[in-house]
Amino acid sequence: MTDRLLSIEDLSVAFHTPEGTARAVDRVSFDLNKGETLGVVGESGCGKSVTSLSILGLIPSPPGAIESGLIRFEGRNLLELDPEDLRGLRGRDIAMIFQEPMSSLNPVLAIGRQVAEPLMIHRGLGRQAALDHAAEWLDRVRIPAARRRLYDYPHQLSGGMRQRVMIAMAMVCRPKLLIADEPTTALDVSIQAQILALMLELKNEMGMALLLITHNLGVVAQMASRVVVMYAGQVVEEARTVDLFDRPFHPYTQGLLRSMPLLGARPGGGSRRLNEIPGMVPAITEALAGCRFAPRCPHAFDRCRADAPDLFAVRDGQRARCWLQPHPERRRTDA
């Protein structure tokens, strides 16, 4: 028996819209072990949120449809679970926090009630017991004067405090898996650092696994033990965090890492240009032959444009969807 908590196998999700079919997630696979933090990075529209919403059965359908795949959580395929069981799992064993807390907090309900609700639903606690517990949690996530704030409404809180309330809501039932979709993107760096530290602390204390979705490579480097890089609906690279940053294999990963300005690296008047990845992400409605990154890739050769590459093993724990793995001699040294 392994300590595997979640495994996604060959998941494909499409959106059928009047403009065409968007292959938002295309045969995505990855695993998450108990207590592990897995980072999922990639640019806007690459399918990060759709992947995570699939886990919870939250894909709007229509227009969305899960075309194929398996999502195993503690051995059970969530895609075959009846809605009742899935609802039971949601909030209890698997919890989620989103980027924009305002869209997931109820604006007309006091925050104490919102944090208490999962306890009443999933743990069968009475109202007062649940509120007491909620106050403890608000205190735990460092909402100042938590007990007095139970009756505050979301709009009375700062962005950072709302995100803390979201975390409290997600954690009250002590889930086995927390899915955090851009949990700090709307926040200032100072508040981001506080929220990330809080998530790490609670995670370590409760042995919870964390699926951390972000486009911020810095956040991933600080938090994750393994990283999945997505591009245009596909996993293009997967590696232990240190390997991804020390020895990125895929040209897209390499391009991303090189295109970021680094603090202290070359200050002043921008006399040096940043490394850019030319062009832009292809529309996922287009039928694409070959590698999806080929139009922007400095190493692309004939095979890249003709055949779609598989995820090839690069080293232990690292895989990359790139023809350079079987054809290392094609990697240009000047790019």
Partner 1 sequence: MPDAPLLRIAGLVKHFPLGGGLLTAPRGWVQAVNDVSFAVHRGESFGLVGESGCGKTTVGRMVLGLIHPTRGRIEFDGQAIQDLSRREFGRLRRRMHIIFQDPYSSLDPRMTVERIVTEPLLADRRPPRAERRRAAAELLDKVGLRAADLDKYPHEFSGGQRQRIGIARALCARPRLIVADEPVSALDVSIQAQVINLIQDLQQEFGLSYIFISHDLSVVEHVCNRIAVMYLGGIVELAPAANFSRCPRHPYTAALLAAVPLPDPHRRAAAPAMEGDVPSPIDPPGGCPFHPRCRHAFERCSKEKPPLVPAVEGHSVACWLNDGRGLE
Q: How far is the CB of 228 from ligand ATP (least distance, A)?
A: 12
Residue with smaller CB distance to Mg ion, 227 or 294: 227
Q: Which amino acid is at 183?
A: P
In sequence order, the 6+-apart residues with CB closer than 8 A to the CB of 101 are 154, 159, 162, 163, 165, 166
Residue with smaller CB distance to ligand SF4, 5 or 322: 322
Which pair of structure tokens corresponds to residue 245?
């940053």
Residue with smaller CB distance to ligand ATP, 98 or 249: 98
Q: Which stretch binds ligand SF4 (CB under 6 A): 34-42, 216-224, 264-272, 297-305?
A: 297-305
Q: How far is the CB of 104 from Mg ion (least distance, A)?
A: 13
Q: How far is the CB of 306 from partner 1 (least distance, A)?
A: 25
Encode 259-295 in three state secondary structure. HCCCCCCCCCCCCCCCCCCCCCCCCCCCCCCCCCCHH
Which one of ligand ATP, partner 1, ligand SF4, none interacts with residue 294, CB within 5 to 8 A by kind? ligand SF4
Terminal CA-to-CA distance of the chain, rounded, Å? 45
DSSP 107-162: TTS-HHHHHHHHHHHHS---HHHHHHHHHHHHHHTT-TTHHHHTT--GGGS-HHHH
What b/e sequence results for 172-183 when a residue is b if at least 16 CB atoms lie within 10 Å of its CB, and e otherwise? bbebbbbbbbbb
Burial of 127 (0-12, 13-18, 19+ CB in 10 A): exposed
Q: Should residue 101 be labelled a site residue for ligand SF4 when binding is judged by CB under 6 A?
A: no
User: What crossing angle do the helices spanning 159-171 and 111-122 adopt, rounded to 10°?
Assistant: 10
Residue with smaller CB distance to ligand SF4, 160 or 251: 251
Q: Should residue 45 be labelled a site residue for ligand ATP when binding is judged by CB under 6 A?
A: yes
Q: How far is the CB of 15 from ligand ATP (least distance, A)?
A: 4
The whole-angstrom distance between residue 161's C-alpha and the CA centroid of its chain comes to: 21
Binding mask 61-90 for ligand ATP (x = CB under 6 A): --xx--------------------------
Which one of partner 1, ligand ATP, Mg ion, none interacts with residue 176, CB within 5 to 8 A by kind? none
Q: Should residue 48 be labelled a site residue for ligand ATP when binding is judged by CB under 6 A?
A: yes
Site residues for ligand ATP, window 265-284 (CB under 6 A)?
284
Considering only 11, 28, 38, 49, the residue that binds ligand ATP (CB under 6 A) is: 49
User: What crossing angle do the helices spanning 159-171 and 189-206 adopt, rounded to 10°?
Assistant: 10
Which one of ligand ATP, partner 1, Mg ion, none interacts with residue 270, CB within 5 to 8 A by kind? partner 1
Considering only 125, 251, 256, 318, the residue that binds ligand SF4 (CB under 6 A) is: 251
Q: Should residue 98 be labelled a site residue for ligand SF4 when binding is judged by CB under 6 A?
A: no
Q: How far is the CB of 262 from partner 1 (least distance, A)?
A: 6
CA-to-CA separations, 297 to 79, 304, 305, 307, in angstroms, rounded: 36, 9, 11, 15
Q: Should residue 49 be labelled a site residue for Mg ion when binding is judged by CB under 5 A?
A: yes
Cβ neighbour number for residue 135 with a 10 Å cutoff: 20
Q: Is the dihedral of CA 34, 198, 172, 49 positive or negative?
A: negative
Site residues for ligand ATP, window 8-27 (CB under 6 A)?
15, 17, 22, 24
CA distance 154 to 168: 13
Which residues bind to ligand SF4, rule: CB under 6 A? Answer: 250-251, 291, 293-294, 297, 299-300, 304, 309, 322-324
Which residues bind to Mg ion, rule: CB under 5 A? Answer: 49
Which residues bind to ligand ATP, rule: CB under 6 A? Answer: 15, 17, 22, 24, 42, 44-50, 60, 63-64, 215, 284
